[in-house]
Structure 1
Amino acid sequence: MNNTTVPPIETHLKSIQTLIQTAKFNEAIAQSKALQQQVTEQQHHIELWYLMAIAQRYGKEFTQALTSINALLELDALHSRASQEQGYTYLALNKATQAKLSFEKAVQLNPSLVGSWHELIQLYRQYGQQEQVQKAANHLERLKKLPPALLAVTELMHEGKLLKAEQICRHFLQNNKRHVDGMCLLAEIGMELKVYDDAEFLLASALELSPNHIHARSQYLNLLIRLGKYKAAEQQVEILLVTQPDNLSYKIAKANTLTGLGKIAQAITLFEQAIAQDDKIPGFYLQLGHALKAQGDIKKAVAAYQKAYQLNPSYGDAFWSLANTKTYRFSDEEITKMQRQRTDENLAIADKVQLHFATGKAFEDREDYQRAFQAYQQGNDLQHASNGFDINKIEQQVAEQIKYCTHELFELRRNLGLNSPDPIFIVGLPRAGSTLLEQILASHSQVDGTMELHNILGLASRLRGRESNKKEQENQQESQYPKNLAEINPTYFKRFGQQFIDETRVYREQAPLFIDKMPNNFLHIGLIKLILPNAKIIDARRQPMACCFSGFKQLFAEGQDFSYRLEDIGRYYQAYLKLMAHWQQVLPGFILTVNHEDVVDDLEKQVRRILDFCGLNFEQSCVDFHKTKRTIKTPSSEQVRQPIYKSATEQWRHFEPYLAPLKKVLNIE
């Protein structure tokens, strides 16, 4: 009987590495080629091409080394070390221009590659790019100051190995509790993993330890903007501007903060000042365009977006922003540009996704529905592949809400929350007509429109807890929340309600009532009832096919990861219906369901019904909602500035031949 076992692939790879380290390059190449014939997994092929390229370069087989690198990059175009190795090989061939481009791509993909920065400094000197020399030298100096463990963490992060990076970083911080750079890195990993509470706590703690740490404060500022905590962000950016008054990125951050606070005119002035300082940065024009769009100046917004793509023809966000006005129509020339750019293999994934969605909108406007769907599908496939969304987790969350948010819970914990009647929550699915309902209500003299506020989601995240987030990722076990709603200290509910009112005050004006239109809050209606028992909940509902397909062709900024597969969006809609039926059962009278089609068919009747539910007198301005001047930051902003129209309700039918997977999940014949 033969007891010999085949050594694992890792053993072979280490053997090849040892051959390279002992200058046995021909043997390393031979072993790599032999192993290529045996392995089947793509990752193993990538590792072998990489080792072979290194051995070939050291063995002065430069042409063969480039062939190996190209084979690797075909399998993984974002392999940063492959680009670095390509740069070394071009240097050996005295091809300085190609080497510079390769090293630049390497550090763009992974800014912690010390070797690439070393070479770039020399190449920038050679080309007389003194400003670039200084930037590269500054970055290299920062990297060299990092302890080896943290340098390894940065490399792992940029290679997408986040959980491994987190493990090493946490271990390092256990032995170096006051290491601010380590805290900043762990916060960055937290942001990537969307564990925002952890990241916020780490950065606030880092700044307490080191108030003059510019990088920590910049990171904290960016996180606060991402979380929509604009008042806190404004305080941070003012501190940074005191230390660096001419820093353009801080001026732009301040303008974004002002946009978030609804101070659009001030924001636009700041964007224009930044552009006057440097008119070659496409992102400045893009963000100016967003502010102008929110203000309702669509003509100037379009001009700003066009300027952004003129400066950078592959800037997907500029083209998508034009499409996302919903009223812009692309020219033949623009469609040709988008078609050309989206097939560029070297284009960043984000740009490619945005160009696919923009192209889909362009073809849809021209009634070329087959090509429109094809483009939407390509954009959705790419986005889904990169976001790692799992619909099972949403279905589990819904099951847990139904299991624990019972009649008994609401009886047991009745009247513990804050009695404030101020908030009106509009919930449901995105693209279900919530912006229209918000515009109707915000046209009333007693109601302030705000935006999609993250506060309830943030509270739910805190109640869920960090450890259970990890468990959910690994084992699909039940999380602490909502089970803990029956267990936590009764005094917390009023405190949570007060905290919500206090934190959202900055988005309000003088009206007694205000709107939070975060659609995902439908998952947390039980929590809302417990902390704000006198709040109003409006469920914005739309016919399933129209709603789901409208979501499928929308590229969201963040937070709607379910919308990039037809099966996922159908299952999400079904889960939403199931949970809303549960809320209606256990909280009778707490929620008003408003069907979008009913609003379109008889606007005044539905306006009166909504106002009655909110305890408000009828005002004609709510029927004439399109005349209301206010800041609107959602994709539907231009649509709700026009009188109501019926054409959108049946748009999905043009795409019906391609929607069989969605119909199947929704049980529609």
Structure 2
Amino acid sequence: MEKTSPSSIENQLKSIQQLIQQAKFNDAIKLSKQLQAQTTDQQVQIQLWYLIAIAQRYGKEFSSALISINALLKLDESHSRANQEHGYINLALQQSNQAKICFEKAVALNPILVASWQELIELYRDQQQMVDVQKCANQLAKLKKLPPALLAVTELMHEGKLLKAEQICRHFLQNNKRHVDGMCLLAEIGIELKIYDDAEFLLASALELSPNHVHARSLYLNLLIRLGKYKAAELQVDRLLVEQPENLSFKVAKANVLTGLGEIDQAIILFEQAITKDSQIAGFHLQLGHALKTKGDIAQAVAAYQKAYQISPSFGDAFWSLANTKTYRFSDEEIEKMQVQQGDKDLALVDKVQLHFATGKAFEDRKEYQQAFQSYQQGNTLQHAHNGFDINKIEQQITEQISYCTRELFEVRGNLGLNSADPIFIVGLPRAGSTLLEQILASHSQVDGTMELHNILGLAARLRGQNNKEGQYPKNLGEINPDYFKRFGQQFIDETQVYREQAPLFIDKMPNNFIHIGLIRLILPNAKIIDARRSPMACCFSGFKQLFAEGQYFSYNLEDIGRYYQAYLKLMAHWDKVLPGYVLTVNHEDVVDDLERQVRRMLDFCGLEFEQSCLDFHKTQRNIKTPSSEQVRQPIYKSATEQWRHFEQYLAPLKEIVNID
């Protein structure tokens, strides 16, 4: 087959479109089929099938059009305009129910398809579904108010073309600086691209311009919850509830905020009220389960998770949440249900990933290790392909920290920060035992346990800037105004106050803070830092079989997680060299072997008197939000240290990187 150049294909596609516009449908179909024979490019094939189907429908060849659109959907079932075209063809064939299903799928994939909403209004009206007619009319009215540029941005977003969407949206806002809907769209793109600082600034600015813009405030609320800024989120949700006191989604958001603030009993009351109003929303039961689990009421949490999957059998999060209690054991019937759902080709990616991880845990508990690993591997492969993580960027970050956070930097600028000794940072890799160390220390009368706080990561992101250009963080730690360090330290203390109770010391156990120990030292020179370390195979494999709520993207590939562990060791060795004595390393295996000795080491390091309650940590009643919450409510056990050996034959790529024979 002679290869056709991309420019030639583009020109021929334009010619086909012109033939359709000129009502030369047979010529358009003929040229399309000729071009199909000249290329194997799947995206071009998709475009050609789409044009063929349109030409056939316009030419009243409805049965042929149906065959063509089905051929396209076999290549890409999530093609929104193909689903819309499928709806038109079914309308032409007088299959109104099938047409309705197609248009519904089209707008679910791409909510800006005006024509699909218009057709749905008529189809719903014919079937006397007046509530749905009103919903469609509302959406249509909203779309018709949007400028064409923002309609294009919305469509690009739903096609996953975020960088192109961002480019068009920024250009639009240059000429329409006070356009709140445009600001909201750019913020949504920022959230998808994880540029949270920009998104937060945009939404705060939008609300200054339009304080009654419910959508902007709702987006702002959800972003603040994601960032763990629960006190700020509480202000936003309270304002929304004044405007819409019966809005169930806002009530549930308030409950999530209260959970984040540690006011669990109040959160549970709100979740239960929402469920009383509408008991058939699976997500309400799921979130109630999370609050109950945080409180330590595991039996009721399990019941809530089970109710969630009973309402929605494909709800992967409900099954994963059961697995993530670490103590739940799935029945034969539940395993079968999960496997049946995994086989559904229409199942959303997030549900599929969650079901694979949950199934892996189910088989591991049954000592069926080959099947367990296959499930973990499938879940990890899907998640890794989706998140676009690049380990090279992390290794570059580590290199930059080592290059710029030198002994000289700390000699010159090391005493400029805030002299507060309140924070104890527990850092390391996730699944390295940090929750256990937090539970031990939080059992002391002088220490508050909090959660994985995002404040240091947020500060680092602000210092880095959007594009992480040369000359920004961490290089700028040696260049910025010296007064900033004390200000940043005070800001950290002020922002984290809401998570504390009355104790003089408090814990921030965000593991990823190990990258930013230099920054912590500059803004809080008297803070204590404990490195929770675990042997490489146990730590890395435990991370590999854990599906994290957000972040930790390195953990979904064995080579990535091995390289991340090695980069972590390299950076921790650097901190020991340039900040001797500033970090205390506590090995998980040592805690398991001699608990009292390691407890006394940590307390001495933190300047605290020994208290028996730290040895009896499993008796301490407190809210715990991490996956290990149930494990640290039990006496210490040794079995987990060697669990990875059951999977050893599958872990060769990891063993090679971390140099384990």
TM-score range, shorter chain: over 0.9
Q: Which moved more, 1:190-199 or 1:5-14?
A: 5-14
Residue 512 of structure 2 aligns with an amino acid whose one-letter code is N
Instruction: Show the counterpart of 2:639.
Output: 647
Aligned: 1:201 with 2:193: no
Return the offset for 1:20. 1.8
Map 1:556-571; keep pairs closer than 5 Å: 556-571=548-563
Distance in structure 2 (CA, Å) of the matches to 1:461 and 1:538: 23
Instruction: Show the counterpart of 1:192.
Output: 192
Instruction: Show the counterpart of 2:89.
Output: 89
Distance in structure 2 (CA, Å) of the matches to 1:313 and 1:216: 33
Q: Which moved more, 1:515-524 or 1:54-63?
A: 54-63
Instruction: Show the counterpart of 1:174.
Output: 174
Return the offset for 1:479. 5.9
Instruction: Show the counterpart of 1:110.
Output: 110
Q: Which moved more, 1:354-363 or 1:73-82?
A: 73-82
Instruction: Show the counterpart of 1:555.
Output: 547
Return the offset for 1:101. 1.8
Distance in structure 2 (CA, Å) of the matches to 1:154 and 1:30: 34
Instruction: Show the counterpart of 1:349.
Output: 349
> Helix, strand or coil for the counterpart of 1:328?
coil
Question: Aligned-pair RMSD on alpha carbons?
Answer: 1.3
Distance in structure 2 (CA, Å) of the matches to 1:557 and 1:388: 16
Closer/same/farther in 2, CA of residues 487 and 388 from structure 1, 3 Å limit:
same
Choose which of 596, 601, 622 in structure 2 pairs with 1:604.
596
Instruction: Show the counterpart of 1:334.
Output: 334
Q: Which moved more, 1:203-212 or 1:96-105?
A: 96-105
Instruction: Show the counterpart of 2:629.
Output: 637
CA deviation map 1:412-443 (0-9, x unaligned): 11210001001111111110111111111111
Distance in structure 2 (CA, Å) of the matches to 1:61 and 1:452: 60
Residue 223 of structure 1 aligns with an amino acid whose one-letter code is L
Instruction: Show the counterpart of 1:616.
Output: 608
Map 1:49-448; keep pairs closer than 5 Å: 49-448=49-448
Choose which of 535, 557, 567 in structure 2 pairs with 1:543.
535
Residue 448 of structure 1 aligns with an amino acid whose one-letter code is D
Return the offset for 1:652. 0.7
Which runs of structure 1 show a deviation greater than 6 angstroms over 4 or more consecutive aligned residues? Answer: none
Return the offset for 1:5. 8.0
Distance in structure 1 (CA, Å) of the matches to 2:396 and 2:74: 38
CA deviation map 1:225-282 (0-9, x unaligned): 1110000000000111111100001000000000000000000000000010111110
Distance in structure 2 (CA, Å) of the matches to 1:273 and 1:563: 37
Instruction: Show the counterpart of 1:475.
Output: none
Closer/same/farther in 2, CA of residues 6 and 163 from structure 1, 3 Å limit:
closer
Instruction: Show the counterpart of 1:495.
Output: 487
CA deviation map 1:346-387 (0-9, x unaligned): 011111111111111111111111111111111111111111
Distance in structure 1 (CA, Å) of the matches to 2:442 and 2:77: 48
> Helix, strand or coil for the counterpart of 1:15?
helix
Instruction: Show the counterpart of 2:450.
Output: 450
Aligned: 1:578 with 2:564: no
CA deviation map 1:587-644 (0-9, x unaligned): 1000011111111111111111111111111111111111111111111111111111
Return the offset for 1:112. 1.5
**Mind listing any 5+ residue stretches in structure 2 that lack a counterpart?**
none
Aligned: 1:519 with 2:511: yes
Return the offset for 1:48. 2.0
Instruction: Show the counterpart of 1:663.
Output: 655
**Mind listing any 5+ residue stretches in structure 1 that lack a counterpart?**
472-477
Instruction: Show the counterpart of 1:474.
Output: none
Distance in structure 2 (CA, Å) of the matches to 1:126 and 1:535: 68
Distance in structure 2 (CA, Å) of the matches to 1:646 and 1:61: 70
Residue 581 of structure 1 aligns with an amino acid whose one-letter code is A
Residue 374 of structure 2 aligns with an amino acid whose one-letter code is Q
Residue 345 of structure 1 aligns with an amino acid whose one-letter code is K
> Helix, strand or coil for the counterpart of 1:554?
coil
Aligned: 1:591 with 2:591: no
Distance in structure 1 (CA, Å) of the matches to 2:75 and 2:412: 58
Distance in structure 1 (CA, Å) of the matches to 2:598 and 2:5: 74
TM-score normalised by structure 1 residue count: 0.97
Instruction: Show the counterpart of 1:483.
Output: 475
Return the offset for 1:52. 2.1
> Helix, strand or coil for the counterpart of 2:506?
strand
Choose which of 519, 525, 539 in structure 2 pairs with 1:533.
525
Residue 231 of structure 2 aligns with an amino acid whose one-letter code is K
> Helix, strand or coil for the counterpart of 1:467?
coil
Distance in structure 1 (CA, Å) of the matches to 2:344 and 2:382: 14
Return the offset for 1:36. 1.9
Residue 452 of structure 1 aligns with an amino acid whose one-letter code is E
Distance in structure 2 (CA, Å) of the matches to 1:67 and 1:535: 68
Aligned: 1:504 with 2:504: no
Q: Which moved more, 1:73-82 or 1:143-152?
A: 73-82
> Helix, strand or coil for the counterpart of 1:8?
helix
Distance in structure 1 (CA, Å) of the matches to 2:321 and 2:439: 21
Closer/same/farther in 2, CA of residues 6 and 125 from structure 1, 3 Å limit:
closer
Residue 520 of structure 1 aligns with an amino acid whose one-letter code is N
Closer/same/farther in 2, CA of residues 506 and 15 from structure 1, 3 Å limit:
same
Distance in structure 1 (CA, Å) of the matches to 2:296 and 2:63: 57
Distance in structure 1 (CA, Å) of the matches to 2:347 and 2:555: 23
Closer/same/farther in 2, CA of residues 424 and 344 from structure 1, 3 Å limit:
same
Residue 270 of structure 2 aligns with an amino acid whose one-letter code is L
TM-score normalised by structure 2 residue count: 0.98
Return the offset for 1:7. 4.2
Return the offset for 1:6. 8.0
Distance in structure 2 (CA, Å) of the matches to 1:7 and 1:388: 29
Distance in structure 1 (CA, Å) of the matches to 2:77 and 2:486: 52
> Helix, strand or coil for the counterpart of 1:426?
strand
Closer/same/farther in 2, CA of residues 146 and 606 from structure 1, 3 Å limit:
same
Distance in structure 2 (CA, Å) of the matches to 1:642 and 1:614: 24
Instruction: Show the counterpart of 1:32.
Output: 32
Closer/same/farther in 2, CA of residues 135 and 5 from structure 1, 3 Å limit:
closer
Residue 158 of structure 2 aligns with an amino acid whose one-letter code is H
Distance in structure 2 (CA, Å) of the matches to 1:433 and 1:8: 59
Residue identity (%): 81
Distance in structure 2 (CA, Å) of the matches to 1:131 and 1:6: 47
CA deviation map 1:439-488 (0-9, x unaligned): 111111111111111100000000001133xx6xxxxxx46110000000
Residue 215 of structure 2 aligns with an amino acid whose one-letter code is H
Distance in structure 2 (CA, Å) of the matches to 1:189 and 1:467: 15
Q: Which moved more, 1:22-31 or 1:208-217?
A: 22-31
